[in-house]
Amino acid sequence: MAAVTTTSRQKLGWGATNLVVIALALIPVLWLASLSFKTPTAILDPSFVPAQWTWGNYTQILSTTQFIRPLINSIGIGLIATLIAVVLASMAAYAVARLRFPGKGVLIGMALLIAMFPAISLVTPMFSIERAIGLFNTWPGLIIPYVAFGLPLGIYTLSAFFREIPWELEKAAKVDGATPFQAFVKVIAPLAAPGMVTTAILVFLFCWNEFLFAISFTSTLASRTAPASLAYFSGSSQFTVPTGPIAAAAVVITIPIVIFVLFFQRRIVAGLTAGAVKG
Amino acid sequence: MAEIVLDNITKRFPDGALAVNKISLDIADGEFVILVGPSGCGKSTTLNMIAGLEDITEGELRIGGKVVNNKTPKDRDIAMVFQSYALYPHMTVRENMGFALKLAKTPQNVINEKVEEAARILDLTQHLDRRPANLSGGQRQRVAMGRAIVRDPSAFLMDEPLSNLDAKLRVQMRTEVSRIQRRLGTTMVYVTHDQTEAMTLGDRVAVMRNGLLQQVASPQELYERPANLFVAGFIGSPAMNFLGGTVEENAIRTGIGDIPLTGRLQQVLSRSGSGRDVIVGVRPENFEDASSVPADVRPHGITFQASIDVLESLGSEKYIYFTQETGSVDAAELTELARDSGRADTGSGEATVVARLDPETRISEGDNAELWVDGRALHVFDPATGQNLTLGDSGSPASSAGPGGGAAPAQADAGAAGQDTGSAAPPPR
Amino acid sequence: MTTTTEAAPGGATTEVAKGRKAPLSEGARAERRLGWLLCAPAVIVMIAVTAYPVGYAVYLSLERYNLELPNAVKFIGLANYGAVLSSSYWWEALWVTVLISVVSVTITLVLGMLLAMVMHRTLFGRGSVRTAALIPYGIVTVAAAYGWQYAWTPGQGYLSAMFNNSAPLTDQFKAIGVIVLAEIWKTTPFMALLLLAGLSLVPEDLQKAAMVDGASGWQRFVRITLPLMKPAILVAVLFRTLDSFRIFDNIFILTGGNNGTASVSILGYNNLFNALNLGIGSAISILIFICVAIIAFVFIKGFGTAAPGTDIGKR
């Protein structure tokens, strides 16, 4: 009897705790969503739920190149940087997890150093360099630093995944008559695929999120990414603050993330914590 | 079908560690050879070198008469079963078994035929379309075997294939492995650290320690005529008991009394003079309840008193344990054996002796019993070199010196096939 | 795989044996070459984007270099550093950055630990809690920052309305409070996930043993859980501290660095794009880099934080 009551009380307690956590995580996002549906007059009303609903903010931002073009830039730059970073990181992580060679420690140290690197320290010199070699305000001008900062993340995550692969399988494949290349393509790569997908998600999230480089190394719509474009939004007239459109744009760039998180939460958690704990 | 010849094979790792030291071994076509030894003795490295998964630092490896040192595993025509089975998790049983044939571009209908035949032999037919994750341990093990059988290779290499199974299944699969090898008649090299597997499976057993070959012989030969302390202690379960002793005139003085020297042993030991320290080895079955020993047998051994600490009755036999002053039995081999089997260090001067008695015995726990030990069955070892002195002059003198103190003296009677001192030739089949 | 085929049938075998006596076997050398080859592209990109620019920044920081006066470029030694270090802007920015880092990391650690405990121990709904917690981690910082900004804008925001139409973003300390709040909301889930991974490494049996030994819940947490989680905690705190030290996005959107809320990153950015001064900007970059190096050094040497991934090399 006593045991039953404690359990139901415990259940209630945990239920309440879970609700608080979920509410704290979601309220700021819901607020943003609410703003994006408010009409310009409703914006000036601080209530959480819009008094008047409208799709106007969305139609406005989705009909101007001011937002569409940065969205395309964000997707393109993010995908290309992710692809390059995952390929390069896979090669390095395979070597780290699998091969013996001097200099491995240096590589790991270097990756660690870059993971801790203050991005602002690069802004001034990179700005100067990119202007000098014509990369300023181009896609490659952002892709290159994104790859460099995505690499440490990729090398850590992937080498943690690679270490989990039973390498006896590679031996078995060789004894079965596979060349080293066949052993990699037919046996190791299918097993490494989940790790690569996870890494790709994390690197893409990083690129999608990045702001400092995005506002420093771009100057026009040619390469400005979506987060940077928010800072340059203008209202319908020069004197209105474009709160509604900004909120709508913020929701648009948040939606892919929420979908990602819903679909890949296990992988994201596995990737984020890989290699970070075992030390 | 092929013979495998290891000619002074050495493996040195990049960090300088010597894993395998000049091993020579002739494995005949169709023979079943076991490589056995404690972990870290180099047996798996040796197998990997035969497979082509590790470089050979020095020496020559021939399969079917051809030097294969620089051949990739692909070109050696061997199949291997791994300890973890190494089944490809993303392929079905059928695909796993057919993978090698597919890589070799065998026509699909031939692959199917061979896979299905192997599945029939191994009783896997109804599991062919499942993934390894959905199989039991025993089934996975059989798939690993099947993957090897399908290839119809010139040799099977097995790396502790049964060690991941539980005890009961292991015994069952042991019989299975033996049956398959006999049926196919393919050369097989089998690595294990389990001396029971070694004793029950192989035509010949090669005992390794610290990268050196200790002795290569048939299981019975290893048991009856171990070349040195290490082999004596490693082969047999429960293990041989070791007591310290001193050579006297016509007897060896030990903690359980003076054991008279007879015949050959007397000749060997008298030459080195009295006062010499030796280690005496007695197998558990060479003890007996003194009261049940017939009067005409008694003079071949001695009787002594022992207080029985523990008695285990297994029905068909009884094991008794008693503590004995062992004298100094300090030998590197024994320390290593103790470490390997998880026993405490034996250097304390006291040790537990195990004896196997007839189930008829009336001795019970706590008794101060009178026991008899058979003096004819003693093994006497040199504490410094570990050599079995009992074998000393039995055969040809040429076979006594080998690296690490006597690889394979017991092979002397196998004929002149083994020219080098360390080489071991297959027995006539 | 070695493919030397000099072993002619018949004789040359002894030579092969001699050739293989070299300290490194062919296979080991091939392995080295492959290792270097596979790492080279990653190393080149990382050096090109970090080491080289930092070296270049050191050089720039020793020059008088204003983009508006391109003809007046001149080597001036350490004068830029002197100018930065004697400026009250730098010291205020450093102080603001340190304050935000210390406060937000401390609170994040406590809340992250609580959240990790909830995710570890909750009886049901673990999946939905984890999904919800991942949303702040995944959301674009800039988007979230706009949400916070509007929430605290008098006449528009629900939070401002809840606190008597206050305008916290116009006051230095209140604005810093809002910035810290935004940081905490965004980074607690990440901290919690790292701590959760550490928490799951603490064997359940140890908890039971301590319970049998009569330890209370708090005692078990302090005596068993925390010591065993120490490595995970230190790694998480190190990363969070360094991340927090380079705070930029939230401040840029929330206050633009006005009202005494500029962090060192904001200062560096403004110097480049408002003052167009490459020399001073580079000197700030180098000083920030030195600060980060000091923090990392203190954590790794002083607290014995195992640099994450160091066990990778042991394989």
pLDDT of residue B222: 93
Quick check: B175 and B122 in contact, CB under 8 A?
no
Report d(CA A72, CA B15) in Å as an integer: 53
pLDDT of residue C7: 36
- Could you say which of A166, A178, A191 has the minimum Cβ distance to residue B74? A178
* Higher local confidence (pLDDT), B270 or C272: C272
Q: Measured between beta carbons, which residues in chain A are less than 8 angstroms from residue B88? A: 169, 172-173, 187
pLDDT band at residue B396, thresholds of 50, 70 and 90? very low
Residues belonging to chain B with any Cβ–Cβ distance to chain A shorter than 8 Å: 14, 48, 51-53, 72-74, 78-80, 82-84, 86, 88-90, 99-100, 103-104, 147, 151, 157
Q: Measured between beta carbons, which residues in chain C are less than 8 angstroms from residue A209? A: 140-141
Q: How far is CA A8 from CA A13, C115, C123, in A?
A: 9, 22, 11
Domain shared by A68 and A24, yes or no: no
CA distance to partner chain B, nearest, from residue A173 (Å): 8
Report d(CA B422, CA B340) in Å as an integer: 25
A72 part of a folded domain: yes
Q: What is the mean pLDDT of residues B62-87?
A: 89
Domain shared by A23 and A142, yes or no: no
pLDDT of residue C26: 61
pLDDT of residue B424: 46
A55 part of a folded domain: no
Q: Quick: pLDDT tens for B22-43.
A: 999 999 999 999 999 988 899 9
Inter-chain residue contact C7 with B67, CB threshold 8 Å:
yes
A6 part of a folded domain: no
Residue C103, CB-side half-sphere exposure with 13 Å CA sphere: 15
Report d(CA A233, CA B295) in Å as an integer: 112
User: What letter does residue C94 receive in the DSSP assignment?
Assistant: H
Question: At a CB cut-off of 8 Å and minimum separation 6, what does C250 contact?
Answer: C141, C145, C148, C179, C182, C183, C186
User: What letter does residue C199 receive in the DSSP assignment?
Assistant: H
Residue C111 backbone class (left: φ over 0; alpha: ψ -120 to 50; beta: rest)? alpha
Q: How far is CA B429 from CA A265, B31, B410, C254, in A?
A: 63, 9, 17, 89
Q: Measured between beta carbons, which residues in chain A are less than 8 angstroms from residue C121? A: 14
pLDDT band at residue B415, thresholds of 50, 70 and 90? very low
Type of residue at B375: G
- What 3-state DSSP class applies to B388? strand
- pLDDT reading at C263 higher than 50: yes
Q: Which one of A174, A175, A187, A191 would you mutate to disrupt binding with B, by most B Cβ within 10 Å of its Cβ? A: A175
Q: Measured between beta carbons, which residues in chain C are less than 8 angstroms from residue B57? A: 20-21, 25
pLDDT of residue B273: 67
Report d(CA C169, CA C258) in Å as an integer: 9
CA distance to partner chain B, nearest, from residue C36 (Å): 17
Which of A166-175, A266-275, B356-365 bottoms out in mean pLDDT, i.e. has the lowest? A266-275
Domain shared by A111 and A22, yes or no: no
pTM over 0.80: no
Enumerate neighbours of B (3 or more CB pairs within 8 A): A, C
* Beta carbon pairs, A and B, within 8 Å: 58
A93 part of a folded domain: yes
A52 part of a folded domain: no
- pLDDT reading at A46 higher than 90: no
Report d(CA A234, CA A243) in Å as an integer: 9
Inter-chain residue contact B86 with A169, CB threshold 8 Å:
yes
Burial A169-187 (b: 16+ CB within 10 A, else e): bbbbbbbbbbeeeebeebb
pLDDT of residue A235: 55
A56 part of a folded domain: no
Q: Which one of B55, B58, B61 would you mutate to disrupt binding with C, by most C Cβ within 10 Å of its Cβ? A: B55
Domain shared by A29 and A74, yes or no: no
Rg value, chain A, Cα: 24
Question: At a CB cut-off of 8 Å and minimum separation 6, what does A60 contact?
Answer: A236, A244, A245, A248
- Please, what are the domains in chain C? 2-60 (no CATH), 88-302 (1.10.3720.10)
Q: What is the mean pLDDT of residues A189-204?
A: 88
- pLDDT reading at A87 higher than 90: yes
Domain shared by A39 and A72, yes or no: no
Q: Measured between beta carbons, which residues in chain B are less than 8 angstroms from residue A171? A: 48, 51, 53, 73, 80, 82, 86
pLDDT band at residue B397, thresholds of 50, 70 and 90? very low
DSSP B3-35: -EEEEEEEEE-TTS-EEEEEEEEEE-TT-EEEE
- Could you say which of B57, B67, B72 has the minimum Cβ distance to residue C20? B57
Domain shared by A145 and A252, yes or no: yes
Q: Quick: pLDDT tens for C81-113.
A: 999 999 999 999 999 999 999 999 999 999 999
Domain shared by A33 and A102, yes or no: no
Rg value, chain C, Cα: 27
Q: Measured between beta carbons, which residues in chain A are less than 8 angstroms from residue B53? A: 171, 174-175
pLDDT of residue B343: 59
A1 part of a folded domain: no
Q: Quick: pLDDT tens for B79-110.
A: 999 888 888 888 899 999 999 898 888 999 99
Total domain count, chain A = 2
pLDDT of residue C308: 52
What CATH number is associated with residue A249?
1.10.3720.10
- pLDDT reading at B429 higher than 50: no
State which residue of chain B sits closest to A189, comparing Cα positions: B90
Q: How far is CA B212 from CA B9, B404, B407, B416, in A?
A: 10, 7, 8, 22
Question: Could you tell me if C14 lies within 8 Å of chain B, comparing CB atoms?
Answer: no
pLDDT band at residue A236, thresholds of 50, 70 and 90? low
Q: Quick: pLDDT tens for A8-41.
A: 888 888 888 888 989 999 999 999 999 899 888 8
- pLDDT reading at B400 higher than 90: no
Q: Quick: pLDDT tens for B321-352.
A: 988 776 656 677 777 777 776 655 444 556 78
pLDDT of residue A240: 63
A 67-106 near C (Cβ less than 8 A): 88-89, 91-92, 94-97, 99-105
Question: Could you tell me if C13 lies within 8 Å of chain B, comparing CB atoms?
Answer: yes
- Taking each helix axis as running N to C, give the angle between helix A139-164 and helix A120-133, from 0 to 180 degrees, rounded to the nearest 10: 130
DSSP B224-283: HS-SBHHHHHHSSSSPPEEEEEEEETTEEEETTEEEEP-HHHHHHHHHT-TT-EEEEEE-
Burial B130-141 (b: 16+ CB within 10 A, else e): ebbeebeebbbb
pLDDT of residue C180: 95
- Most confident region among A177-181, B43-47, B269-273, C189-193 by mean pLDDT: B43-47
Question: Could you tell me if A57 lies within 8 Å of chain C, comparing CB atoms?
Answer: no
Domain shared by A153 and A18, yes or no: no
Token pair of C247 as six digits? 């705070």
CA distance to partner chain B, nearest, from residue A182 (Å): 9
Q: How far is CA C42 from CA A97, A150, A199, C222, C274, in A?
A: 15, 10, 15, 42, 34
Q: How far is CA A265 from CA B139, B247, C133, in A?
A: 34, 76, 10
Quick check: B158 and B194 in contact, CB under 8 A?
no
Inter-chain residue contact B88 with A187, CB threshold 8 Å:
yes
Domain shared by A39 and A68, yes or no: no
Domain shared by A29 and A124, yes or no: no
pLDDT band at residue A71, thresholds of 50, 70 and 90? very high
Report d(CA B386, CA B406) in Å as an integer: 9
pLDDT of residue C8: 37
Q: What is the mean pLDDT of residues A223-229?
A: 91
Q: Quick: pLDDT tens for C139-198.
A: 899 999 999 999 998 888 888 888 887 888 888 889 999 999 999 999 999 899 888 888
Residue B64, CB-side half-sphere exposure with 13 Å CA sphere: 11
Q: Measured between beta carbons, which residues in chain B are less than 8 angstroms from residue A175? A: 51-53, 73, 78-80, 100, 157
Which of B158, B146, B148, B153 has its CA nearest to residue B33?
A: B158
pLDDT band at residue B208, thresholds of 50, 70 and 90? very high
Domain shared by A18 and A125, yes or no: no
Inter-chain residue contact A125 with C60, CB threshold 8 Å:
yes
- What 3-state DSSP class applies to C19? helix
- Could you say which of C3, C5, C25 has the minimum Cβ distance to residue B55? C25
Domain shared by A217 and A88, yes or no: yes
- pLDDT reading at C5 higher than 50: no
Type of residue at B363: I
Q: What is the mean pLDDT of residues C218-237?
A: 86
Q: What is the mean pLDDT of residues C17-44?
A: 71
Quick check: B201 and B207 in contact, CB under 8 A?
no
State which residue of chain B sits closest to C2, comparing Cα positions: B70
A53 part of a folded domain: no
Report d(CA A124, CA C102) in Å as an integer: 27
Inter-chain residue contact C248 with A159, CB threshold 8 Å:
no
Range of the domain at A141: 64-276
pLDDT of residue C177: 93
Average pLDDT over all residues of chain A: 85
Place of tokens 């000197």: C283
Place of tokens 């205020």: C92
- Could you say which of B52, B84, B89 has the minimum Cβ distance to residue A191? B89
- Taking each helix axis as running N to C, give the angle between helix A168-175 and helix B43-51, from 0 to 180 degrees, rounded to the nearest 10: 40
